Structure 1
Amino acid sequence: MRESVGGQETLRGGIVTGAIDRVSGTIRERVPPLTAIPLPRAVDRRLLHQRWPVRELASPPPGSGLAPVLGDAGAPLIGHSLESMRFGLEFALHRYETYGPVSWMGAFGQRIAVLAGPEATQIALVNKDKAFSQEGWKFFIERFFHRGLMLLDFEEHLLHRRIMQEAFTRERLSGYARQFAPVLRQGIADWGARPKPRLYWALKRLTLDVATRVFMDMPSGRNAEQINRAFVDSVRAATALVRFPVPGGRWAAGLNGRRLLERYFAENLPAKRRAPGDDLFSALCLATGDDGERFGDEDVINHMIFLMMAAHDTTTITSTAAAYHLAKHPEWQERAREESLALGDEAPDLAALDGLHTLDLVIKESLRLTAPVPSLPRKAVKDVDVLGHYIPAGTLVSVSPTANHFSPRHWTQPRRFDPERFAEGRREDKSHRYAWMPFGGGAHKCIGLHFGTYEVKAVLHEMLRAYRWSVPRDYRMRWDYVSLPVPVDGLPVRLAPLRRGSRIVHKQ
């Protein structure tokens, strides 16, 4: 039963989550999706540990010496779609423990081979034999992020990546940092009016402001809210169980969002070509490859839509995860704050951000515990041997960073928050090339990883200067994995303005 609490819609006895209001276009909280609704523990355990008949994905060719990939289809039609979205980490680790590094499962009407653990991951992402293509991503997001960089393959991908790299040089990053610094400082100062925000949604609003300012040179406002709603709808449509444009469904909302984004960028592109600025949109219009190659209008539009999504969603997730751990571990929050306050009141440039070593450790550990993109889809374009197992051509494949990040062979007490594991002298992330892989790997490693890391550090730096924040001692944040990870309750925190002398920082 629904009821209204303080102007927010909730489920009686349940948990609220966030969304973009389709009427007003503003960020608000609403009833959670099915995957986030609390259930009795016994029901949760049964869903997670339900046994299904074990079958082979396909029979290996006679005489190949290869073993079949074992797994199960799950429930009729939907397979393991609901469990994977509801349980996320626990589901991935349960499958890894049950079947090992190479298995298969039914989900979204498909048989999907799952590669987990550093060794299996390396085979897929290094991809020496070019046996794996980005067609896996296309199954999920092609209709919404058509020809984004992550969806391109082989030589075409390398060409586009070389051109796009011009938008992510150190000089460009320095310019972006100068642009996002005042946006972050003002936006975080404004949080002082709400001492108990749901932090994920406050951060999402903030990272959207950065994306619209740095990527498009566009002020926040109603147009920005409509664009954010379009991105949210497009991302969440990727895991729709009904993959047809049924009115009111996620798939239809995603298609509408894509059309809005195409229209916006197409209308603004001619002006960017005529009078480019310092934003990413302009940088893509001007970017030139080694042999003078440049992006056409359609390429610019497709890459902008993809990069906008990738930039502000993953930054929001990482900032939220790091802020949560800093709330749960106030000793780390104070250690990081000491470094931030030592920088003084000037907006930090890249060199200053590089010097925030405690935040480096915290961010890396937060990325380990919550990979912003928990699955990297691929498709086998030819028969392939993975660790002695036979995967036939045409199979959808999912590479799972989650299993790598929690492998007890590579990490000490992997469920524990321990940023020092990344410090010199330990460097547990060096135990294997793919033990830690929040940005993917191989030719498709995230092109914006440095931009994203600097933005997350700048966000946390400004938070540390302005507030102390906390959560109740027994609070545990739970992630919803319907698309990318989102905290089911939005992460409610208590903000306390940080006083230095007689000044309250958030009123600067």
Structure 2
Amino acid sequence: MTSTVGKVTEAIRERVPPLTAIPLPRAVDEKWLNQRWPVRELAAPPAGSDLMPVLGDAGAPVIGHSLDFMRFGLEFALRRYANYGPVSWMGAFGRQIVSLSGPEATQIALVNKDKAFSQEGWKFFIEKFFHRGLMLLDFGEHHMHRRIMQQAFTRDRLTGYVGKMGPALREGIAAWSAKPNPRLYWSLKQLTLDVATSVFMDMRSGEDATLINRSFVDSVRAGTAVVRYPVPGGRWAKGLNGRKVLERYFAEKLPAKRTDDGVDLFSALCHATDEDGERFSDADIVNHMIFLMMAAHDTTTITSSAAAYYLAKHPEWQERARAESLALGDEIPGIEALERLETLDLVMKEALRLVAPVPSMARMTTKDTEVLGHYIPAGTLVSVSPTANHFDEDCWTNPREFDPERFNAQRREDKSHRYAWMPFGGGAHKCIGLHFGTLEVKALLHEMLRAYRWSVPSDYTARWDYVSLPVPVDGLPVRLEKPDFRAGCGGDSW
């Protein structure tokens, strides 16, 4: 190890906790996580700059750490943060990737005052599958597209979307009564797809919807394929085929949507214009619909799954949330009623903290830059992660614990730093659909609370698979009961 690496390593050790400071669940392989790889500099800082090199390691030959994060997710990210601090690098997917963790480092990249970080990082992972989606656009072009798209997410539009999603959610959740022991994640995934096809495209679930769902799943999972070549049967090949299916589907539906003045998102994008009269081309609409359907469908499924899991593990919070939902009466709630469900708001925010639906945000440096005194050369792939931020003891009280009250008006631990809580990203690329997503999750959980009481065994702990976005490995098995809440019954199940 060079003297420079040694000095920087010592500086890191002084300001981050030792490896043993990060406790691990029993399911995590302690020996594996503690294995050591040779520490190296990413690149030598310019002479006389007084900048530190970024330290890290390449991981296993060829694959680097590609499989490590998929297998261990949160624990892997926290161990890297403990070992190397907020700025480090690792080998993965055949590249050297700089990881930015912690509120200060992530703020620099996401605020991006000097435009040193571009969305080209996302293109490395998902360009082939989500070509020119809003998240992949940069700077002026991104601003223009976002300005037009914002017309599809106005308060009036959101009110219309909530009106359409309510009946679909109530009908779909009522159908669960035929299966009292579901794998909840998969039930929710089908349900959120049904809502997306209704609200976004004004279509009913059926054979088309099943094909669309499979295509979205294949496209999302392809982004983290280790073999990034269309080998028949491989994830990359399936993703490319999924993209073709989605392009063909939306292109066929587009002419009718251009002439339709419906309340669905597809129609809204076809008619959206900014204050200068700019509007989307047909190709823009197809690209944005593919991206938005993926973003809304998958992140809503993950968030509702995580929230439902914690409500099952903490029945006192489930009962508290249920009391507020039952107080709304039998009418399907509108946007104002959903916004009054304060307990669900607290629970959802805590679920988003504990299981961030997008655990990593990709960037690429456009020029030589520095983050917290570390030199990062131009053309470097960068991963910005909310994971360490959401478990930072400087920002959160007992961050491993489920504690929705941390978001109440008196505590507001999420205000401890601007980027302590960042499930929706930040800066110019902050999620444009965050209000829609929040309303959908609350509406979904509201209908679940009205219809069922659900539980998991006391010794059950969900384990999340990070192959693409976090998914419960076992599908989240739960026990549904259907008491007559209006009669005050306690636990009669079918």
Relative to the length of structure 2, the TM-score reads 0.93
1:373 aligns with 2:358: yes
Q: CA deviation at 1:42?
A: 9.6
- Pick from 30, 33, 41 the counterpart of residue 56 of structure 1: 41
User: Do the aligned residues in 2 keep the contact of 1:467 with 1:506 (CA within 8 Å)?
Assistant: no
1:251 aligns with 2:236: yes
Give the distance between the partners of 1:413 and 1:178, measured in 2 at CA. Answer: 39
User: Do the aligned residues in 2 keep the contact of 1:137 with 1:378 (CA within 8 Å)?
Assistant: yes
Q: CA deviation at 1:44?
A: 2.3
Q: Deviations over 1:277-315 (max 9, x none)?
A: 110000000000110000000000000000000001000
Aligned to 2:80: 95
Q: CA deviation at 1:41?
A: 6.9
1:249 maps to amino acid? G
Give the distance between the partners of 1:60 and 1:84, measured in 2 at CA. Answer: 28
Aligned to 1:474: 459
1:375 maps to amino acid? S
- Pick from 93, 101, 113 the counterpart of residue 108 of structure 1: 93
Aligned to 2:195: 210
Aligned to 1:75: 60
Give the distance between the partners of 1:41 and 1:420, measured in 2 at CA. Answer: 27
Aligned to 1:341: 326
1:124 maps to amino acid? A
1:427 aligns with 2:412: yes
Q: CA deviation at 1:45?
A: 2.3
2:146 maps to amino acid? R
Give the distance between the partners of 1:367 and 1:269, measured in 2 at CA. Answer: 34
- Pick from 368, 377, 392 the counterpart of residue 407 of structure 1: 392
Give the distance between the partners of 1:360 and 1:220, measured in 2 at CA. Answer: 29
Give the distance between the partners of 2:409 and 2:136, measured in 1 at CA. Answer: 36
User: Do the aligned residues in 2 keep the contact of 1:190 with 1:506 (CA within 8 Å)?
Assistant: no
Number of residue pairs matched by the alignment: 468
Q: CA deviation at 1:47?
A: 2.4
What is the DSSP-based 3-state SS (H/G/I as helix, E as strand, rest coil) of the residue aligned with 1:121?
helix
Unpaired stretches in structure 1, ≥5 consecutive residues: 1-39
User: Do the aligned residues in 1 keep the contact of 2:424 with 2:430 (CA within 8 Å)?
Assistant: yes
Q: What are the residue-to-residue correspondences of 1:153-192 with 2, within 5 Å? A: 153-192=138-177
Relative to the length of structure 1, the TM-score reads 0.91
1:275 aligns with 2:260: yes
What is the DSSP-based 3-state SS (H/G/I as helix, E as strand, rest coil) of the residue aligned with 1:377?
strand
Q: What are the residue-to-residue correspondences of 1:318-467 with 2, within 5 Å? A: 318-467=303-452
User: Do the aligned residues in 2 keep the contact of 1:52 with 1:74 (CA within 8 Å)?
Assistant: yes
User: Do the aligned residues in 1 keep the contact of 2:450 with 2:485 (CA within 8 Å)?
Assistant: no
User: Do the aligned residues in 2 keep the contact of 1:465 with 1:498 (CA within 8 Å)?
Assistant: no
Q: CA deviation at 1:276?
A: 2.9
Q: Deviations over 1:449-503 (max 9, x none)?
A: 0000000000000000000000000000000000000000000000000213569
User: Do the aligned residues in 2 keep the contact of 1:276 with 1:282 (CA within 8 Å)?
Assistant: yes
User: Do the aligned residues in 1 keep the contact of 2:28 with 2:72 (CA within 8 Å)?
Assistant: no
User: Do the aligned residues in 2 keep the contact of 1:340 with 1:465 (CA within 8 Å)?
Assistant: yes
2:341 maps to amino acid? L
Q: Deviations over 1:353-382 (max 9, x none)?
A: 010000000000000000000000000010
Aligned to 2:301: 316
Q: Which moved more, 1:494-503 or 1:71-80?
A: 494-503
Aligned to 1:6: none
What is the DSSP-based 3-state SS (H/G/I as helix, E as strand, rest coil) of the residue aligned with 1:308?
helix
1:130 maps to amino acid? K
User: Do the aligned residues in 1 keep the contact of 2:481 with 2:492 (CA within 8 Å)?
Assistant: no
Identity of aligned residues (%): 76
What is the DSSP-based 3-state SS (H/G/I as helix, E as strand, rest coil) of the residue aligned with 1:434?
coil
2:231 maps to amino acid? V
Aligned to 2:219: 234
Aligned to 1:490: 475
After superposition, the Cα gap between the structure-2 partners of 1:42 and 1:286, relative to the gap in structure 1 and judged at 3 Å, is: closer
1:122 aligns with 2:107: yes
Q: Deviations over 1:57-94 (max 9, x none)?
A: 00000001100000000001100011111000000000
Aligned to 1:292: 277
Aligned to 1:149: 134
Unpaired stretches in structure 2, ≥5 consecutive residues: 1-24
1:60 maps to amino acid? P
Give the distance between the partners of 2:290 and 2:492, measured in 1 at CA. Answer: 33
- Pick from 124, 135, 151 the counterpart of residue 139 of structure 1: 124
1:219 maps to amino acid? R
Q: CA deviation at 1:437?
A: 0.2
User: Do the aligned residues in 2 keep the contact of 1:141 with 1:238 (CA within 8 Å)?
Assistant: yes
User: Do the aligned residues in 2 keep the contact of 1:192 with 1:506 (CA within 8 Å)?
Assistant: no
Aligned to 1:35: none
1:324 maps to amino acid? Y
Q: Deviations over 1:16-42 (max 9, x none)?
A: xxxxxxxxxxxxxxxxxxxxxxxx979
What is the DSSP-based 3-state SS (H/G/I as helix, E as strand, rest coil) of the residue aligned with 2:203?
coil
Query: Root-mean-square deviation (CA), in Å?
Result: 1.6
